Homo-oligomer: A and B are copies of this chain.
Amino acid sequence: MKVGFLQFCPQRGQVKENLRTIIGLIDGQECDLWVLPELCNTGYLFSDPDEAWDLAEEIPSGSTTEKLAEISVRNRSAIVAGIAERDEDQLYNSSILVTPKGDIFRYRKLHLFGYEKEVFSPGDREPEVFNIGRAMVGMMICFDWYFPETARILMLKGAQIICHPSNLVLPYCQKSMPTRCIENRVFAITANRIGSEVVGNRELVFTGGSLIVDPLGEVLAKASEDSEEFKIVDIVPKISSDKKLTRMNELRSDRRVELYGELLRNGDSDGSE
């Protein structure tokens, strides 16, 4: 199975142009699963929630979703892409997964980073795993990586590949994705963006370095920090279903859920302060 990421520089507010860039780069490529960056159609910074509102779209009726769904069917490629979603009176930082069979799945970012809280509502649903025929696929978006719970839940729900649209500005994620893969024995595809954005007194520089990591933490492909590029690698998703770490250790059954389930649910415990 061929999986890839597309790393590029979305232009702020230029949905049509960004879509044209994406299609120009991926259309016709042989790739079974593409991952594109977070908010890859709108850019990251909005002047105000109204601007985000105008640029966001409904799923599945919006133009980005429709167009990528069409490309997905034509190229026989599943595509994961981060987009701004409008649903009734709420905005979400979402990703879609469109498949050659015509399925359109969605995930809404659970952990909003900094200024996103001024624009988006946090995801209101459990992370789910989707069957795309050749693999079981889960999605998380950018800062979600920081919380080990996100990838853990996806693994427990059967994800073999975690698709990870991102707009990373900090340097930690790229170094830590191998750990996320090792601890869950999954593949992960982080598609980060490049370039910078300035709105008012906010200036952000995105860190590129998109990467594909295997279940043993090996980096199979890595992009530069600042250039537009895509990489496609061949993987065998089902190796991630083998959770045996040694003859006597299995990643899931070795978890001591009877001792830590309640504790992890308790977000208010902070004995130190």
Taking the closest CB of chain B, its distance from the CB of A176, in whole angstroms, is 4
CA distance A117 to B159 in the complex (A): 28
How many A residues touch B, CB cutoff 8 Å? 61
Closest to A267 in B: B257
A157 interface neighbour in B147, B183, B265, B269, Cβ under 8 Å: B269
Contact of A263 among B123, B156, B248, B249 (CB under 8 A): B156
Which of A37-45, A106-114, A193-201 lies on the face that meets chain B?
A106-114
A61 at the interface (CB under 8 A from B): no
- CB contact list, A215-256 vs B, under 8 A: 217, 241, 245-249, 252-256
Q: Determine whether the beta carbon of A265 is less than 8 Å from that of B257.
A: yes
Query: What's the least CB distance linking A183 to chain B, in Å?
Result: 6
Contact A260 to B149, CB < 8 A, known contacts A255-B267, A266-B156, A272-B136: yes
- Does A24 count as interface, using CB distance less than 8 angstroms? no
Q: Give the residue of B248, B263, B270 whose beta carbon is less than 8 angstroms from that of A114.
A: B248
How many Å from the CB of A218 to the closest CB on chain B? 11
Give every chain B residue within 8 A of A269 (Cβ-Cβ).
156-158
Interface contact B252-A158, CB-CB below 8 Å? no
A241 / chain B contacts, CB cutoff of 8 Å: 272-273
Q: In the assembled complex, which residues on chain B have CB atoms less than 8 Å from the CB atom of A273?
A: 158, 241
User: Chain A residues in contact with chain B, CB under 8 A?
Assistant: 110-111, 113-115, 117, 122-123, 125-126, 129, 136, 143, 146-150, 152-153, 156-160, 172, 175-176, 178-180, 182-183, 217, 241, 245-249, 252-257, 259-273
Query: Which 4 pairs between the two chains have the least Cβ-Cβ distance?
Result: A261-B265, A158-B271, A158-B272, A148-B148
